[in-house]
Amino acid sequence: MTAVARVIVDVPSRETDRTFDYLIPDRLSGWVEIGTRVAVPFGGRTLQGIVTGLGADAEVELARMKPLEDVLDAITPLSSELVQLGVWMSKRWLCPLTIALQAMLPAALKGRAEKYVFPAEGAEWSDEETAQSGGLLHALRKGQPLKLSGLLQHYPEHGDLLRRWLLDGRLEERQKVEDRLSVKTVQTVFPSDAETLKRAVAELPARAHKQREVLAYLADQPEPIGVQRLAEAVSTTPSTIRSLAERGWIDIRAVTEDRDPYADRDFPVSLPMQLTPAQAAALLPINDALEQRSNEVFLLHGVTGSGKTEVYLQAIQRCMESGREAIVLVPEIALTPQMVERFKSRFGARVAVLHSRLSQGERYDEWRKIREGRAQVAVGARSAIFAPFSKIGLIVIDEEHETSYKQEESPKYHARDVAVERARLHGAVVVLGSATPSLETYQAAVDGGRPKYIAMPERVADRPLPGVRIVDMREELKLGNRAMFSRELAEALRDRLDRNEQTVLLLNRRGYATFVMCRSCGYTAACPHCEISLTYHRGSHNLRCHYCGYAEAEPKVCPSCESPHIRFFGTGTQKVEEALAEAFPGIRVIRMDVDTTTEKGSHEKWLTQFRERRADVLLGTQMVAKGLDFPYVTLVGVLAADAALRLPDFRASERTFQLLTQVAGRAGRHELPGEVIIQTYDPEHVSIDSVRGHDYKGFVTKELHVRRQLGYPPYGRLIAITLSHESVPMLLSVGEQFAMRIREKAAALGISSDFTEPGRAALEVLGPVSSPIARLKDRYRFQCMVKYRGDVDASFLASQVLQEMGDAVKRGGLQVSVDVDPQMML
DNA sequence: AGCACGCCGACT
DNA sequence: GTCGGCGTGCTC
């Protein structure tokens, strides 16, 4: 009987998406379990892999089996539950298992094989060769194996020499899987007992003053202390301390240290607040489910300012009291210091925070805090759903409708769906919170009873929802107002300036000007690789492609007709800022968009400034719409409310309604009442009109009706298959085949392609059509859309066809990407 | 994915 | 004759 590990190797392709068997050598037995990260020999190289199973026997003959090379972590990074979740994900979103597993590991643990080169036993080189190698041989013969990548960087002209000697066997190569990053260690002094220190003082040479000082300091404060800090404390250098260690009087060891990104911050302690009756009523069924340990899902539909966060906090409290852990997902954009503070204040050091602004190292340390049981609550963006807890009791998804929960790269998972599955595996409770639930979630609650629906229709402390006025910009134009601000908005702004209150302005766009257009001939500048409008960047005076990074200089005349009337179109936050300064001299504006918030900590800096009322207006794109809570904001203005309505995406209406409702919710959250003014060219549109009465139900009812008619989610489901290649005819023919084969398979199963008969299972394949991004990085893109409803396993059909056509696709050099339940149609 | 094995053109 | 081009196939 042999101990065998089944390993998923880190090669993300369809052919290798299965386990490979390896012998577990004696020296590693006891270290290998499900979820262990290992280094394995695979087809002549060394790769990282994850153990997904253990067996007493192999599936292949013994002779073909190789032993595991190494175990990469002392603590297995993935639990068997996470491995199981990965298997589920790979089926659900049709991705290789290794991709799903990789998504669960912090970036620091994405190991790569490094090649090391060293001289073979007894290898000889002539003097001539040594001279020719220009120091390369000398470096190699020092003894330490050297990194191949480093050698090639150092001696780029001697790559062929290296290769020749590797081939003739005088040099050998060895591979090792290395993490991108290790834990941070600090050289730490461990003082000996007082007795020893006293003896040391006696035995030191008379002139060793500094060393005596160090010993005196340690005698006084016998806690372990970092070498660097100790040196500073007695104003000397680390070498003094090291000589003490050499004499054996003290002990210096490397100690791992956490990079706590919030180390220098004090969070005031916050105690649970007195709940309003509505909050208490909402909390009750959640607590019941926690008590019963039943795998329940709730939709907490609470208007903006209704106090959802306090409900989360108290549910988490209850969860932790029962010895279980909690995960809180927040959209990346709303993961503001304000939000973090609320959790840190309530739960202190038991909170781990995971978001993209952390460095790789900081993220890794927060991750380890969870894995090693030092944190019980994880707050973070999408990927925090994989927090390596072992007994989860509660998962909260705040703003569950947010698109950022869907990952747009493989694995194209939706964190909301992962949460529900992970909660099932743990017997945990899920709370989906939102003021504007996604139509999918709402419809499932109303028609299916899961999630269970909980409503909080009022703001706390009887504060009213802000009044909303819609301004028809067409009328403004008729009356001769060509300005960016309607008279109503300008007046309201003036009023706020007079009263020293604050305003949030939302512009539904980014950049100074979105595209360049010639007024004479209609020419627009587009990327030669991607067929995407180029964006004008004011700082660098050039035009850039947001997809591939292509850049060219700002044109002075039209490249097509040579007219000088080429000008910048569209409105960006910079332009609005200028208009504000002109209309309201002396106005203090904070502009927040991708350009002003890329720097680490800048986001926080701006918001603090605004909170301290050092500005009158907070102007920005989507990022000013979410989760912000400022007492003196009494006016919210929306410029170009309908900009996003024109996008070719069936969710455009839903997104617009959600965005407008969210931003409206920033006004009047405290003592002072709020007001919202929305400027639009399409005031009758449901998405805009419904915001006026804060009429979520009115909006969903109408929108759901449309969705049902068209068979779109939540009444049908979609799978987008995108093919890309340099040649259009190739794409068309393979795309056609894809569509045909899926249709044939569905027909063979007796699935109708007729969507008109209500309730009946149906499937149709749309396309292939040129994808909305028709060309990307010199490759054309075509897509097929599988639309289906009812009891149809369309993912399985698609994966079968994908497998059958695998050969044709590979030989043709096509790239295929599958998006199950796509969120973005662009 | 990458590396080895294998079968045809332009060089020492 | 050989070095090396990259097409196909496999990796426990």
Q: Please list the residues that pair with A670 across neighbouring strands.
A: none
What per-residue confidence (pLDDT) applies to A604? 81
Q: Structurally, how many domains does chain A consist of?
A: 6
What per-residue confidence (pLDDT) applies to A512? 37
Best mean pLDDT range from A65-74, A186-195, A323-332, A636-645: A323-332
Q: Are residues A288 and A435 in the same domain?
A: yes
| Pair of tokens at residue A225 | 């202390």
Q: Would you place residue A513 in the very low, low, confident or very high pLDDT band (cuts 50, 70, 90)?
A: very low
- Out of A356-370, A645-659, A777-791, least confident range: A645-659
| Pair of tokens at residue A393 | 């009791």
- Out of A286-295, A336-345, A528-537, A612-621, least confident range: A528-537
Q: Would you place residue A510 in the very low, low, confident or very high pLDDT band (cuts 50, 70, 90)?
A: very low
Mean pLDDT of A246-251: 75
Q: Would you place residue A96 in the very low, low, confident or very high pLDDT band (cuts 50, 70, 90)?
A: very high
Best mean pLDDT range from A240-244, A758-762, A766-770, A792-796: A792-796
Nucleotide B1 C1' to residue A62 CA (A): 26
Q: Would you place residue A548 in the very low, low, confident or very high pLDDT band (cuts 50, 70, 90)?
A: low
Q: Is A558 domain-assigned?
A: no
Strand C contacted by A58 CB (< 7 A) = yes
What per-residue confidence (pLDDT) applies to A778? 79
Which of A600, A632, A594 shows the shortest CA–CA distance to A614? Answer: A632
CA trace torsion A726, A730, A735, A738 (10° rounding): -120
Which residue is listed with tokens 């009158």?
A616
Q: Is A333 domain-assigned?
A: yes
Q: Are residues A190 and A126 in the same domain?
A: no
Q: Are residues A623 and A502 in the same domain?
A: yes
Q: Is A209 domain-assigned?
A: yes
Cβ A555 vs Cβ A624: under 8 Å: no
Q: Are residues A172 and A190 in the same domain?
A: no
CATH of the domain at A626: 3.40.50.300
Q: Would you place residue A570 in the very low, low, confident or very high pLDDT band (cuts 50, 70, 90)?
A: low
Strand C contacted by A59 CB (< 7 A) = yes
Q: What is this structure's pTM? A: 0.85
Q: Which of the two residues, A290 and A777, has the higher pLDDT score?
A: A290
How does strand A535-537 pair with strand A112-119?
unpaired
Nucleotide B4 C1' to residue A170 CA (A): 21
Best mean pLDDT range from A128-142, A313-327, A457-471: A313-327
Q: Would you place residue A648 in the very low, low, confident or very high pLDDT band (cuts 50, 70, 90)?
A: low
Q: Which of residues 772-811 of A touch strand C (CB under 7 A)?
A: 811
Mean pLDDT estimate for chain A: 87
Question: Which positions of chain B lie under 7 Å from any protein Cβ?
Answer: 1-4
Q: Which nucleotide has the least CA–C1' distance to A16? A: C11
Q: Are residues A172 and A126 in the same domain?
A: yes
Q: Would you place residue A78 in the very low, low, confident or very high pLDDT band (cuts 50, 70, 90)?
A: very high
Q: Is A668 domain-assigned?
A: yes
Domain boundary among A256, A288, A305: A256
Instruction: Count other C-beta atoms under 10 Å from residue A60's C-beta.
Output: 10
Please check the confidence at residue A343 and state whether its pLDDT lies above 80: yes
Q: Are residues A640 and A496 in the same domain?
A: yes
- Out of A27-31, A66-70, A165-169, A608-612, least confident range: A165-169
* Each residue's pLDDT tens digit, A602-641: 878 898 899 999 999 999 988 888 778 899 999 999 998 7
Instruction: Count other C-beta atoms under 10 Å from residue A679's C-beta.
Output: 23
Q: Which residues of A are annotated as a binding site for Zn(2+)?
A: 518, 521, 527, 530, 545, 548, 558, 561
Mean pLDDT of A187-199: 75
Domain boundary among A676, A706, A736: A706
H helical segments located in A639-776: 652-664, 686-692, 696-710, 728-748
In this structure, the protein residues whose CB atom falls closer than 7 angstroms to any atom of nucleic acid strand B are A 11-13, 15-16, 43-45
Nucleotide B11 C1' to residue A334 CA (A): 64
Instruction: Count other C-beta atoms under 10 Å from residue A552's C-beta.
Output: 14
Cβ A513 vs Cβ A576: under 8 Å: no
Please check the confidence at residue A511 and state whether its pLDDT lies above 50: no
Q: Are residues A24 and A94 in the same domain?
A: yes
Q: Would you place residue A547 in the very low, low, confident or very high pLDDT band (cuts 50, 70, 90)?
A: low
Best mean pLDDT range from A107-116, A141-150, A793-802: A793-802
Nucleotide B9 C1' to residue A731 CA (A): 32
Q: Is A125 domain-assigned?
A: yes
**Complete edge-to-edge strand list for the sheet that includes strand A502-507:** A467-472, A675-680, A633-639, A502-507, A617-620, A589-592
Q: Are residues A123 and A192 in the same domain?
A: no
What per-residue confidence (pLDDT) applies to A37? 94
Please check the confidence at residue A348 and state whether its pLDDT lies above 90: yes
Q: Would you place residue A496 in the very low, low, confident or very high pLDDT band (cuts 50, 70, 90)?
A: very high
Nucleotide B12 C1' to residue A126 CA (A): 24
What per-residue confidence (pLDDT) applies to A568? 62
A557: Cβ contacts below 8 Å, ≥ 6 apart = A563, A564, A566
Q: Which of residues 156-215 of A touch strand C (CB under 7 A)?
A: none
Best mean pLDDT range from A2-6, A61-65, A553-557, A812-816: A2-6
Q: Which of the two residues, A402 and A758, has the higher pLDDT score?
A: A402
Q: Are residues A287 and A335 in the same domain?
A: yes
Q: Are residues A452 and A479 in the same domain?
A: no
- Out of A268-282, A302-316, A321-335, A540-554, least confident range: A540-554
Separation of alpha carbons A162 and A702, rounded Å:
70
Please check the confidence at residue A26 and state whether its pLDDT lies above 70: yes
Q: Is A732 domain-assigned?
A: yes
Cβ A9 vs Cβ A44: under 8 Å: no
Nucleotide C12 C1' to residue A783 CA (A): 37
- Out of A378-392, A562-576, A581-595, A763-777, least confident range: A562-576
Residue A445 gets which letter from DSSP? I
What per-residue confidence (pLDDT) applies to A515? 64
Which of A618, A647, A652, A620 shows the shortest CA–CA distance to A635? Answer: A618
Q: Is A86 domain-assigned?
A: yes
What per-residue confidence (pLDDT) applies to A10? 94
Strand C contacted by A57 CB (< 7 A) = no
Range of the domain at A126: 113-178
CATH of the domain at A222: 1.10.10
Nucleotide C7 C1' to residue A766 CA (A): 34
Which of A810, A468, A532 shows the shortest CA–CA distance to A668? Answer: A468
> Residue A501 burial (CB < 10 Å; 0-12/13-18/19+)?
middle
Report the largest interatomic distance among the alpha carbons of chain A, rounded to a whole angstrom: 100
Separation of alpha carbons A185 and A257, rounded Å:
6
Count Cα neighbours of A498 within 13 Å in the Cβ-side half-sphere.
Answer: 6
Q: Is A669 domain-assigned?
A: yes
* Each residue's pLDDT tens digit, A362-393: 999 999 999 999 999 999 999 999 999 999 99
Q: Are residues A440 and A417 in the same domain?
A: yes
What per-residue confidence (pLDDT) applies to A223? 74
Domain boundary among A393, A428, A462: A462
Residue A107 has phi, psi (to 5 degrees) of -55, -30
Please check the confidence at residue A717 and state whether its pLDDT lies above 50: yes
Q: Are residues A605 and A660 in the same domain?
A: yes
CATH of the domain at A88: 3.40.1440.60
Q: What Å distances lie between residue A170 and A23, A99, A164, CA to CA?
A: 30, 38, 9
Q: Which nucleotide has the least CA–C1' distance to A42? A: C11
- Out of A49-53, A84-88, A214-218, A484-488, least confident range: A214-218
